[in-house]
């Protein structure tokens, strides 16, 4: 039985679009039931409009007093969501929300965590820091979400080598290729019940 997926995205939604495309060609045993975005003008929302995917705009302007994400939780329950994917989502989720969907929320981060993680490290800011520090390699990390930025249990990482000629944009492009490769793979593992937990650490049973 296919798992019900919600994707949270604030920007272009390129990982969201990539995962949706993999679902279309049956490479992921799941279905995207809902996109959540704080940004009604985002590329992710435009993709939903063009492709008849349901979306929910959730921000402080629309829900100024929803401190525990009750409106968001209600949406997850309505769609019977099994897996939540953060894909460039720029808002912090409440602890109450995380408790309710424990081990069901994944995030992708454009570095080899714990390097270049935490508050303030996102998108190009990560790649600029990698470039500034003359790193020889970088990569992408998929992890489950806990109460803090980028500190949850790591599920998968992949590295990419960097050259002296790689500026922040080249680094970003290299990392994005890795993201497109490993995020759908891990999502499919989850959808096929291949992620087990041992001592609070996720293990992939291939």
pLDDT tens-place string over residues 35-87: 999 999 999 999 999 999 999 999 999 999 998 999 999 999 999 999 999 99
C-alpha separations of 111 from 4, 33, 114, 125 in Å: 28, 28, 8, 11
pLDDT digits (tens, 9 = 90+) for 106-161: 999 999 999 999 989 999 999 999 999 999 999 999 999 999 999 999 999 999 99
Looking at the fold, whether 58 and 119 belong to one and the same domain comes out as: no
Q: Count of CB atoms within 10 A of residue 118's CB?
A: 13
Within a domain: 196: yes
| pLDDT given for residue 163 in this prediction | 97
- Average pLDDT rounded to a whole number, residues 14-26: 97
> How far is it, in rounded angstroms, from Cα 201 to Cα 181?
22
- Decide if 80 is inside a domain: yes
Structural domain contains residue 19: yes
Is residue 41 domain-shared with residue 74, that is, in the same domain? Answer: yes
Instruction: Tell me whether residue 149 is in a domain.
Output: no
Residues 95, 1: one domain? yes
Q: Judge if 51 and 80 occupy the same domain.
A: yes
Separation between Cα atoms, residue 36 and residue 161, nearest integer Å: 34
Q: Known catalytic residues?
A: 109
pLDDT for the residue numbered 191: 98
Q: In the prediction, which pLDDT does 89 show? A: 95
Three-class SS of residue 153? coil
CA 204 to CA 196: how far, in whole Å? 6
Burial class (CB in 10 A: 0-12, 13-18, 19+), 49: exposed
Read off the pLDDT of each residue in 81-110 and give the average, rounded to a whole number. 96
In a domain? residue 26: yes
Judgement on whether residues 31 and 85 belong to the same structural domain of the protein: yes
Task: Please give the pLDDT value at position 206.
Answer: 74
* Cis, peptide link before residue 114, omega less than 30° from 0: yes
**What DSSP element (H or E) covers 132?**
helix 124-132
Total of domains in the chain = 2
Whether residues 90 and 128 share a domain: the answer is no
* Strands, E assignment, 20-136: 30-37, 55-57, 83-86, 105-109
- What confidence category does residue 7 fall into, taking pLDDT thresholds of 50, 70 and 90? very high
Confidence of residue 171 (pLDDT cuts 50, 70, 90): very high
- State the residue range of the domain holding 178: 109-142+158-206
What CATH number does residue 84 fall under?
3.40.50.170
């Amino acid at each position: 039985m296919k798992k019900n997926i919600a994707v949270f995205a604030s920007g272009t939604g390129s990982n969201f679009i990539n995962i949706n495309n993999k679902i279309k060609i049956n490479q992921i045993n799941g279905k995207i039931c809902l996109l959540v975005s704080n940004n009604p003008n985002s590329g992710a929302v435009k993709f939903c409009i063009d492709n008849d995917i349901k979306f929910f705009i959730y921000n402080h302007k629309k829900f100024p007093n929803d401190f525990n994400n009750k409106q968001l939780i209600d949406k997850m329950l309505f769609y019977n969501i099994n897996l939540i994917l953060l894909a460039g989502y720029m808002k912090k989720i409440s602890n109450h929300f995380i408790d309710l969907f424990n081990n069901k929320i994944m995030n992708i981060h454009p570095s080899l965590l714990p390097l270049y993680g935490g508050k303030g490290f996102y998108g190009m800011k990560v790649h600029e820091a990698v470039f500034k520090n003359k790193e020889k390699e970088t990569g992408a990390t998929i992890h489950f979400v806990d109460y803090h930025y980028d500190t949850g249990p790591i599920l998968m990482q992949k590295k990419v080598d960097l050259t002296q000629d790689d500026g922040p944009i080249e680094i970003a492009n290299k990392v994005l290729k890795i993201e497109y490769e490993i995020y759908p793979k891990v999502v499919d593992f989850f959808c096929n019940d291949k992620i087990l937990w041992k001592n609070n650490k996720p293990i992939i049973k291939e």
